[in-house]
């Protein structure tokens, strides 16, 4: 029988309930080598998404990339934690759906506020992929929205799995208290997530660390609060679909008026 330390004190922003999986299991669910495998799976998934191809990406290849982005980290987790890989996925109820919208709204407010501040102080680089969606119509536009949804699950996996790996290492190996380990893993995983977006935003380090990193802190809070990756994924999808819709549908109307 494994123990997940559910009696440990919680952070003020962390409701009572289920604890994070894997980090304090006795005996360990995931071995040292298992955590390395999980991290390798996230790296492989990200590489499958961003490695340039010798030909132009089409609908099929972009979908295959997104599928590998999700599938490779999940496969690694399945191999590292057989029988318990589903611990990051919990049932979704009405409260969880409401939290998805709440965290998405909070994330939009935070990212747009910080983005506006940086725009006044310097330069902010646009996301070329989102801007290009304005040229899509019909089935291609619907495919783009659907593929973004799948890809955002991959983004959650390559953030939450390293977060859990860091939580395990900092608590079980480095000896930090549970809450200190959570805070450090939360911050470090957000920084890593921001840095992964450097090519997307023309290597704008400040934008990636401050804007993207801050948005990631909010999205990870959705997981920290619920221990359910579906909630952080749902909030991420609502956030990105809203911003894409503003570019595709609202911006043309504003420019035409």
Segment 98-119, tens digit of pLDDT: 999 999 999 999 999 998 888 8
CA distance 250 to 158: 31
pLDDT in tens, 64-85: 999 999 999 999 999 999 999 9
The answer to whether 202 and 64 are in contact (CB under 8 A) is: no
Whether 39 is covered by a domain: the verdict is: no
pLDDT in tens, 191-237: 999 999 999 898 999 999 999 999 999 999 999 999 999 999 999 99
Would you say the C-alpha torsion 164, 169, 175, 180 has a positive or negative sign?
negative
Whether 108 is covered by a domain: the verdict is: yes
Whether 230 is covered by a domain: the verdict is: yes
Residue 4: what pLDDT? Answer: 47
Q: Is the pLDDT of residue 256 over 80?
A: no
Whether 59 is covered by a domain: the verdict is: no
Q: Which residue has the tokens 């939009």?
A: 108
Q: Is the pLDDT of residue 9 over 90?
A: no
Whether 31 is covered by a domain: the verdict is: no
The answer to whether 34 and 76 are in contact (CB under 8 A) is: no
* Residue numbers of the domain that contains 99: 93-256
CA distance 47 to 24: 30
Of the candidates 157, 166, 130, which has an alpha carbon nearest to the alpha carbon of residue 239? 130
Domain count along the chain: 1
Whether 5 is covered by a domain: the verdict is: no
Would you say the C-alpha torsion 15, 21, 26, 31 has a positive or negative sign?
negative
Is the pTM higher than 0.85?
A: yes
Whether 214 is covered by a domain: the verdict is: yes
């Amino acid at each position: 029988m494994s123990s997940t330390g559910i009696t440990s004190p919680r952070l003020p922003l962390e409701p009572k309930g289920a604890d994070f999986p894997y980090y304090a299991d006795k005996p360990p669910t995931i071995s040292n080598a298992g955590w390395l495998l999980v991290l390798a799976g996230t790296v492989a998934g990200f590489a499958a998404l961003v490695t340039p191809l010798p030909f132009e990406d089409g609908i099929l290849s972009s979908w295959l990339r997104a599928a590998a982005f999700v599938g490779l980290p999940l496969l690694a987790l399945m191999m590292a934690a057989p029988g318990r890989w589903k611990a990051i996925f919990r049932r979704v109820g009405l409260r969880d759906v409401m939290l998805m919208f709440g965290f998405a709204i909070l994330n939009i407010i935070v990212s747009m506020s910080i983005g506006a501040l940086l725009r006044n102080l310097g330069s902010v680089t646009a996301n070329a992929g989102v801007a290009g969606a304005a040229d899509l119509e019909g089935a291609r536009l619907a495919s783009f929205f659907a593929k973004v949804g799948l890809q955002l699950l991959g983004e959650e996996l390559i953030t939450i799995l390293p977060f859990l790996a860091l939580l395990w290492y900092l608590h079980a190996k480095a000896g930090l208290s549970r809450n200190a380990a959570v805070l450090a893993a939360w911050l470090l995983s957000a920084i890593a997530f921001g840095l992964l977006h450097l090519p997307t935003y023309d290597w704008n380090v400040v934008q990636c660390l401050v804007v993207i990193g801050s948005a990631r802190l909010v999205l990870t809070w959705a997981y920290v609060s619920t221990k359910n990756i579906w909630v952080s994924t749902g909030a991420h999808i609502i956030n990105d679909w809203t911003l894409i819709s503003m570019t595709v549908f609202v911006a043309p109307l504003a420019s035409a008026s």
